[in-house]
Amino acid sequence: MSGFLYKKTAHFMDGVDKIMNKVKSSKKKKLSAMELSLLCHQLALVFQSGANPVEGIPLLADDITQPELKASLKGISERIIEGMTMYQAFSLDESFPDYMLHMIKIGEMTGMLDIVMENLSEYYESEAEINKRIKNAVAYPAALAILMLGVIFLMIIKIIPMFGEIVTSLGGQMPKEAEYLFLFTVSLQKILFWLAVIAIPIILILIVFFKTQKGKLIFDRIKVHNPISGPIYKKIIASRFGLGLSLTTKSGMHLTDGFNTVKGLMRNGYVASKLKEASLEISEGESLSDAVKNTGIFPELFVKMLRTGERSGNLDSMIEKISKVYGKEAELSLQGFSRIIEPALVSFLSIILAIILLSVLLPLIGMMSSIG
């Protein structure tokens, strides 16, 4: 009997090793926040109907139309049928983020998989909205800047020199202002050339440096502590941190354990290191609000609301409220940033474009007056 059990165990472990090697050999694309939100909502509905993972996930896999996700769920359902927990089965697939995996484990431990999945669905929906707002705030100004800089570059490199040659060959008399502008554009070509010669190696060095561990940490710190986008970035961090912490507390996790789980959610290395320091302070007896304040990465109002929740004994509900408040704050700040940056960028580039156009029009006026 013991030999039979040994053989079955060995066979099962060989199967697990084959699955792990197969998964590792094929690098999978991470699912987007909206795809994760929809999947978690569907899983929540399955578990709310009373089905367990062994019954529910194969049924869900049959209904999925997206090929990659369908294949992932098929593999997960096979692993669960072979005896793995839902957490183990999902962990072997690279399509799912660590935070979701941690929450699945909590849901299995507490018997609250349906609640955890519904909360995860709301979390990733909020995450998708934040990502969408950031893209919308940056995309249009960036596209406008690239377009106008392209026009300016074309005029400086091609049109202005060509027009200068035409004016010189026709013997036209240019006003002094036009001569100054023309000389400025000619000298600007040389300046841009040398800037490119100097800037390109520097940019390449910085790109390589910021890919190193130390460089990433410095760049992540700049994201948080800069006067332009820093305040908005802190609000986004506060919103994401609040959402994550609210989810862990609602799922039945202790506040300290929830904090330790959420700190791994931050994709910013500098923020993660600060939260790690705060976690140590909490484990040594520091209050949550004081530990969060000491990080220096959260808005003052965020800290005050946490302290109010601690004193009133309603920290769980306060954390949920904070996440919603800062989600809205981040949205309004991104909209305000977009409204400010667009006209400022248009005005600045329009002035440069006007100077260049005048360097063309003034010589033309001079030629017409000399001909007349």
Q: What are phi and psi of 64, to 5 degrees?
A: -70, 135
The larger pLDDT score, comparing residue 22 to residue 239, is at: 239
Q: Do the domain assignments include residue 5?
A: no
Statement to judge: residues 141 and 84 lie in one domain = no
Q: Do the domain assignments include residue 136?
A: yes
pLDDT at 44 over 60: yes
Structure tokens at 335: 């909209």
Statement to judge: residues 149 and 245 lie in one domain = yes
Average pLDDT (263-285) is 84
Domain range for 272? 126-372
Domain count, the chain: 2
Element housing 230 (H / E): helix 230-250
Structure tokens at 232: 């908005």
Distance between CA atoms of 262 and 100, rounded to whole angstroms? Answer: 11
Question: Minimum mean pLDDT among 26-30, 33-37, 181-185, 191-195: which range?
Answer: 26-30
Statement to judge: residues 232 and 369 lie in one domain = yes
Final residue belonging to a domain, choices 53, 76, 96: 96
Give pLDDT tens digits for 205-233. 888 888 888 888 888 899 888 888 888 88
Final residue belonging to a domain, choices 96, 117, 142: 96
Average pLDDT (338-356) is 75
Statement to judge: residues 87 and 201 lie in one domain = no
Contact between 31 and 101 (Cβ < 8 Å): no
Average pLDDT (91-103) is 84
Statement to judge: residues 166 and 29 lie in one domain = no
Q: Do the domain assignments include residue 161?
A: yes
Which of 78-87, 333-342, 361-370 has the largest mean confidence?
78-87
Q: Do the domain assignments include residue 188?
A: yes
Q: Do the domain assignments include residue 36?
A: yes
Report the CATH number that the domain containing residue 327 is assigned in CATH: 1.20.81.30
Statement to judge: residues 84 and 196 lie in one domain = no
